[in-house]
Copies of this chain bind each other. A is one copy, B any other.
């Protein structure tokens, strides 16, 4: 299994070998993340509740990887450390959703009492 710095290296090398950084404005990367997220979502269109994913695993794998790769490219261009921003955001989420209020509820934090 590769580490985050190794994966970031693989992702940015792929880009740089093709001389693609010139296209990677944060705005166009944000668009790309949205488009890949839509391709992931498309797998579930017309699927009802869709708890069974076995038949769709290969497609999910591919589209989820695309979202993650573009997230890596955004992190690189903006100068963010993926591990650090996840850790920071989880700390914020813990404050927004205290266990005793959020336990077993899917409400948005603004709706929690």
Point out residues on A near B: beta carbons under 8 Å: 1-5, 7, 10-11, 14, 17-20, 22-23, 25-28, 30-35, 37-51, 53, 56-57, 60-62, 64-69, 71-72, 74-75, 78-90, 92-94, 97, 99, 102-104, 106
Of all chain B residues, which has the CB nearest A106?
Answer: B46
Measured in the bound complex, the distance between the Cα atoms of B97 and A48 in whole Å is 21
B34 lies within 8 A of A50 (CB): no
Measured in the bound complex, the distance between the Cα atoms of B15 and A56 in whole Å is 24
A77 → chain B closest CB, angstroms: 8
A40 → chain B closest CB, angstroms: 5
Residues of B within 8 A of A78 (CB): 53, 57, 60-61, 64
